[in-house]
Amino acid sequence: MTMATTQSAQQAKDIAIADLPARRSLPLQLLSILLKSPVGVAGSLIVTAVVLLAFVGPLISPHDPLNRNIRSRFKPPGFVDQSGKVYSLGNDQLGRDILSRIIAGSRVSVLVGVISVLISGTIGVIYGLISGFVGGILDSVLMRIVDGLLSIPFIILVIAISGVVGAGLSTLILILGFTGWITYARVIRGEVLKVREMDYVMAAYALGQSRPKVMFMHILPNVVASAIVLAAVQVGVTILAESSLSFLGLGVKPPTVTWGLMLSDGRQYINSAWWMTLYPGIAITITVLGVVFLGDWLRDFLDPNVRGRA
């Protein structure tokens, strides 16, 4: 394990050095490294596309995602109405265009994915940082709490909380944000324990820097890479959790459009209108796949230490 890790770390270093012509700016360097990895390219293309859709969706949406039309209910994909408008992915039970609704739904996925993960990442990193840095009894107590919380399956915990607290987009974002941090705490603590013993930390102490300064200026920057890798994974987990909750009626409520709610509608008409179920699911799968790919690439790029598992 250690040998494989050192080897892969060395390889990664070699690649990184070989790939970095000295004169280019950092973004260009990153781009040239990214372009060498098909997985990284695919992941970043998908993620960029989804984020773009979330921002400029209304501009390119073929129809109004909320516009009902009783006469074109349950029309199959490729339906063309009297005025010649095309509904390429078909219509739902209220005659709303599925493609436009998928475009509109990207906004919730991006919002939930990004904001929840920012909240949970911040809490988790600070928690892990304090636990690992302070150590001693506080560390044992904080880690036992994490063990306890980890033994409640994530989605079940979220379901129970949102069932009691109630549904809605902002509530859901908060719930996912305030439960997701548990994943980070343990990993970040482990990283802190490693970094804490490094020579440069000793040097910082020797120079007379205060403990908080060492913690935030010297240790934190060196565990951020692991946090980013974890965050990428968590974005996927969070998007899936949002869709499950909305599907169960415990997440986002209509008229907000989300892929999970679209699937919940689709389920009711599963005998007749398969397209209501097929396409929103594909949208979720592609989005999460993009995030997973990007996360895999980030892990290889940022964090050669975790690579043993690749």
Partner 1 sequence: MGVSLRGFFISRMIQLVVTMFIVSVVVFFILRLSGDPILVVAPDFFSEEQIEQMRKFWGFDRPIGEQYLNFVAKAITGNFGTSYLAKRPAMELVFERLGYSWMLAAAAAAIGLTIAIPLGILSALKRNSFVDLIITSLSSLGTAMPSFWLGLMLIIVFSVHLGLLPVFGALEPKAIILPSATLGVGMAARLSRMTRSAMLEVLNQDYVRTAHSKGLMHKTVVMRHALRNALIPIVTVFGLQLGWLLGGSVVVESVFSWPGLGRLMIDSISVRDNTVVQAGLLFFSLSFILINYAIDVIYIILDPRIKFQ
Cβ distance to partner 1 smaller for residue 17 or 164: 164
Distance CA 240, CA 123 (A): 21
Indicate whether 151 belongs to the interface with partner 1 (CB under 8 A). yes
Side-chain half-sphere of 32: how many Cα atoms within 13 Å? 14
Indicate whether 1 belongs to the interface with partner 1 (CB under 8 A). yes
Q: Are 9 and 225 in contact (CB under 8 A)?
A: no
Residue of 53, 102, 117, 159 interacting with partner 1 (CB under 8 A): 159
Distance CA 158, CA 165 (A): 10
What is the CB neighbour count within 10 angstroms for residue 221?
Answer: 10
Cβ distance to partner 1 smaller for residue 201 or 288: 288
Residue of 53, 195, 240, 252 interacting with partner 1 (CB under 8 A): 240
Residue of 56, 165, 198, 202 interacting with partner 1 (CB under 8 A): 165
**Terminal alpha carbon distance of the chain:** 12
Indicate whether 236 belongs to the interface with partner 1 (CB under 8 A). yes
Cβ distance to partner 1 smaller for residue 89 or 161: 161
Task: State the residue for tokens 């987009």.
Answer: 169
What is the x/- site pattern for partner 1, positions 121-150, by CB under 8 A? -----------------------xx-xxxx
Indicate whether 85 belongs to the interface with partner 1 (CB under 8 A). no
What is the x/- site pattern for partner 1, positions 202-231, by CB under 8 A? ------------------------------
Q: Are 176 and 112 in contact (CB under 8 A)?
A: yes
Give 157-190 as a DSSP string: HHHHHHHHH---HHHHHHHHHHHHTHHHHHHHHH
Q: How far is the CB of 175 from partner 1 (least distance, A)?
A: 10
Q: Identify whether 255 is preceded by a cis peptide bond (ω within 30 of 0).
A: yes
Distance CA 220, CA 153 (A): 29
How many residues contact partner 1, by CB under 8 A?
A: 52
Q: How far is the CB of 264 from partner 1 (least distance, A)?
A: 9
Cβ distance to partner 1 smaller for residue 215 or 233: 233
Task: State the residue for tokens 């095309």.
Answer: 86
Q: Are 87 and 140 in contact (CB under 8 A)?
A: no
Could you list the residues that contact partner 1 (CB under 8 A)? 1, 3-4, 144-145, 147-157, 159-161, 163-166, 236, 240, 243-244, 247-250, 263, 266-267, 270-271, 274, 277-278, 280-281, 284-286, 288-289, 291-293, 308-310
